[in-house]
Structure 1
């Protein structure tokens, strides 16, 4: 990290366990960032902290160091207990096995949870603590088995975490530290009820250490902190001290027809850069991706319904430089630590001024410099005054030169291959067929992939995370067969055999005190 991003406070100036200091040294962390220097003395003293800091400022290391220090300084009594039987059913009424979670870290997105887990492995490599990671979209049984085997620190998204808790894979009674990262994003994604559900099943706030971090300490975030934390101390790191000074911000006043030519022209100028293009909707993102691919620019589309396995593959390719451009919706604006992003292009200005800050925070990370370019178009020009008021500065307007506008063939757009509606069946037919299909064919029935009962809570929460049980296809993934086709077990073009052709009439109930009406 460049020295401009750090303070004069050293990690070894705190009374930290030598094993943590060894991990920090291996990670290359010697001096603290501002948020680390402010929050570590408070958390290490056992006081709750509510911190405001932008992404990329080192808050992950701050709460990981504080949590690990507490675990190493106060070993659990259960570590002296014998191991439980491997196939024993966990019981929430008593401590089973030596390792029930003592630290819970909640993140709003899968990418952020994966990043926190990666940092925890690095910092805690010498600490001997067992880490667990749970998130929706993939690895359901594998994650369940790892948690059932016992963990010290459990990192995850709310939906999958609550699912395993309701199945009694683990319990919250041993929790000593609870951490909420990107708390304001929890509200935006509709996870606040899940967060309250989790916090109310933990020991009282006076018996645990609480740490909350958010890009903004809004009224609702502050209310959450005071409701579920023990007199937290507020720590605010001004955004302009960390981000704005290192991001060069400019904008173009463009018509809707000029956006694609300008985007392609700019990307061709930044041929050596790593570029993230933000759009407001998935549909517009697919359109932008299609024009980029159709004009010889390798790009990927990242949205909330891309399956987790494919998301990780795309992110890995982008981080490795194999894909120079990533088109993303705001679902990717938080929690992604991608080093070396040189340019952020707001193809659509965000409706929320806070999202603008999070978008441009994808560049200029860890003390580096970056450029943020915004298109002020006919549809979203009204968002510019709110953004400028929020950041407290005017965004310079650059003139559009003819040499920048690329020549675009309207027919050059690559389109996604989708089956016609008549082949997919009428809207809702797949769901109806799934309910009536055999259990081994469509997977329906109580307890199945589409059934009710124990898995219902998991499905509802994971849909909020954009990761339904079966996962949604990515922008270039072929559509799968409908439940009607699966149930029929034959050609999708052929109707299911034995399907009723007429709707059965319901028998009318006899009137009270009289006879049923005659059939005539």
Structure 2
């Protein structure tokens, strides 16, 4: 019998019953590590820096105390239609996800939550602010624009959250964030979350946080990747990657799968190829409009499609717990991109498989990733779509073909492509 005691419940940590009832209805009772450590500090109104990998419960780590304090805290002014809490996230997709999660936790609370991001008309967002919003979730650029227009009032914001701060730094949002922070001249609580702590993030934290507590939800020598994720790496010829991918997608027990490509062009090509082979596939990349991206992501979340082909920037913020496989169709450019990609599986305690196809021209990139993350796989084996090792390692049934049915249409792509003709 394990001597380790179960993690405390949200109720035991003093969260309002209206919120714990809503979480219980979602099947959420006990806390994750990051939530257990941050809730007591956050509920008391202290500033802190939370460091935890993606998929480890960060959203409710800040969302639960945020809602609790806006709803019923003596040092947060009564709601009057102007924002009491501001959550800044790097991407539109993550903004939608965080907004939805907060909405679910606030089902029993008299709070208005609204999500703001670019690529959509201003009118609806400005109208929402006129009617009244208590909790604002949004991307830096759009929030700053709304503030400059005089639509978004920051005067009474009592709680500020910066989520995925390192990704906002990577995407070049730091100047916008600093402008927003400079507008918050009054006393307020700040919670900053980041998977990694680059120098620029630490500088930001020291400049704008008040005596922050630094919380890591893992040991200092913890692996950068989830222990629940099995990593399979091998060299693959560029001309054989499509056939290999088609076979991996027929692994036993494969569920929702994200395939990563470095470029928009490759993402579109891979999605079209898989659709031509009969797979149910959607695409998310930078050339797509926001409505099309949201349509693809919603179809993936709800299970209408079970394969999503994405570029790195477009995929940031895809927060789906039941992704069983991630396939790196192209080797990432750097170690942290690798960590972020494979962090989309093996989340919240689930098991996952991450497969990386290292092209013969990508071996140097893989060497850097392997050395930096100490993965112990400096010389990946060479496998082909016909290699028995591929079938055995990834539990692919004998005799599978590269086609599973008639051509389908890529969700977020173009019309179905007819099957390739092979010369007899």
1:120 aligns to what? 102
1:215 aligns to what? 195
Instruction: After TM superposition, list the pairs within 5 Å mapping 1:2-401 onto structure 2.
Output: 7-71=6-70, 72-74=72-74, 77=77, 79=79, 98-204=80-186, 207-238=187-218, 240=222, 243-269=225-251, 272-395=254-377, 397=380, 400=383
- In the alignment of these two chains, the number of paired residues is 396
**Larger radius of gyration, structure 1 or 2?**
1
Cα 1:321–1:131, aligned 2, differ >3 Å: closer, same or farther?
closer
**Runs of at least 5 residues in structure 1 that lack an aligned partner in the other structure:** 80-97, 417-473, 478-520
Shift of 1:76: 5.4
1:77 & 1:363 partners in 2: Cα distance?
Answer: 40
Identify which range, 243-252 or 332-341, moves more after superposition.
332-341
| Partner SS for 1:342 | strand
1:476 aligns to what? 414
| Partner SS for 1:211 | strand
2:31 & 2:84 partners in 1: Cα distance?
Answer: 26
Instruction: After TM superposition, list the pairs within 5 Å mapping 1:478-493 onto structure 2.
Output: none
1:371 & 1:384 partners in 2: Cα distance?
Answer: 18
Deviations 1:237-264 (A, max 9, x none): 3384795210010111122222222122
1:403 to 363, 386, 391: 386
**Runs of at least 5 residues in structure 2 that lack an aligned partner in the other structure:** 391-399, 416-424
Deviations 1:157-199 (A, max 9, x none): 1122122212211311111110000001111111111100100
Shift of 1:17: 2.4
| Partner SS for 1:328 | strand
1:234 & 1:310 partners in 2: Cα distance?
Answer: 39
Shift of 1:475: 4.2
Cα 1:242–1:219, aligned 2, differ >3 Å: closer, same or farther?
closer
| Partner SS for 1:268 | coil
2:40 & 2:280 partners in 1: Cα distance?
Answer: 47
| Partner SS for 2:259 | strand
Q: TM-score, normalization: structure 2?
A: 0.85
Shift of 1:298: 2.9
Shift of 1:21: 2.3
| Partner SS for 1:74 | coil
| Partner SS for 2:250 | helix
Q: CA RMSD in A?
A: 2.9
Whether the aligned pair in 1 keeps the contact of 2:244 and 2:385 (CA below 8 Å) is no
